[in-house]
Amino acid sequence: MSTRLLARHSTTTSVSPSLAPSYTTQDLNAAAIELTSWNDASSSRRASILSSPPLYSSAHTFHPTIHLQIQTPGKPWLSLPIPPKPVPIPIFDVNPDDNSLPPEPRYVSVRPGRGSGSSYLIPGSSPSSAKPLSTTTYRFGPGKPPAVSLFLPSQSRDAEGGEEEAWDSFSILSTSLLSRAQRLHHTRLGTFEWRYASRSERKAMKANSVLVLEKIVKVAIAGGKEEEVRRAVALFVRSEETRTPGSSASSAGNGGRLMVDLGAWEEGEKVEREMVVVLVVTTAIAMLKKEVDRRRAQQIAIMASGAGGS
């Protein structure tokens, strides 16, 4: 990505950083929510949440270690079905104690132009000269899912011997035609899946929209079969308290509170922990784009229906 492109957008990242929308994770932790996807947990499994569960367990309790705020207004219902302006999306660190934000964002997501769906994630400290931390490329046509490439930050890249090529590359794939869930297959960090939380999960978190990123591990069970075991590593929560100011519950692709649980990676796995956060942020932005694309398709369908009935 050219320096000119980054410089062109750098002036728009000065979003007022004083306070993030208020939110507390006390209710989330107290509820000890079992993020078990669509599986019904047995009573014994539910009881196990009170003890120390295995590293990968569907009874895992989510404990956020990183709190971020994605600030983007999204697309309201009453708008034209055109691509949104290529306004950079800042992602701020959030102090969970007082919801304060630092003067500069941790990351900024940038699109080259209005007609492009592709995006770059760059450090927020010096966007005019920074190399991308990730790229998301959208290719036209069926059977061509979004392609994501992750790059080591400059300091880690130097420590690894000046590696310039992508640290990891993978695609974002739909799990089925009837589901909005998206799977990240065979990444260097494992297999993950973004899904929309169930009604009971949303109720427990007092939010109208919750996205869950789960790490999926296959384990052997009796009879020589395998079973998928999931562990939540990120939650993207949009509620009255957390959504981007100016957006509403009906907005598509609007921002909110992104929380990451790095408990599945050891403290010594510094590079992996750093790249997990980049993966989470990059693919969360991709999920927001999918919401905007879906909203535009709905708007086009409504307009076409109205034109046909006149």
Domain count, the chain: 1
Per-residue pLDDT reduced to its tens digit, 23-35:
554 555 433 444 4
Is 278 inside any structural domain?
yes
Q: What is the largest CA-CA distance in the chain?
A: 65
Which range, of 28-37, 220-229, 279-288, averages the lowest pLDDT? 28-37
Is 126 inside any structural domain?
no
pLDDT computed for residue 23 by the predictor: 58
Is 133 inside any structural domain?
no
Per-residue pLDDT reduced to its tens digit, 64-117:
999 999 999 999 998 999 888 989 999 999 998 888 899 899 999 999 888 788
Which range, of 119-128, 129-138, 278-287, averages the lowest pLDDT? 119-128
Range(s) of the domain holding residue 189: 15-107+174-309
Is 44 inside any structural domain?
yes
pLDDT computed for residue 220 by the predictor: 87
Is 152 inside any structural domain?
no
Is 257 inside any structural domain?
yes
Question: pLDDT class for 223, splitting at 50, 70, 90?
Answer: confident
pLDDT computed for residue 108 by the predictor: 96
Question: pLDDT class for 119, splitting at 50, 70, 90?
Answer: very high
Per-residue pLDDT reduced to its tens digit, 243-285:
999 999 999 999 999 999 999 999 999 999 999 999 999 999 9
Is 73 inside any structural domain?
yes
CA 41 – CA 91 distance, rounded (Å): 35
Is 142 inside any structural domain?
no
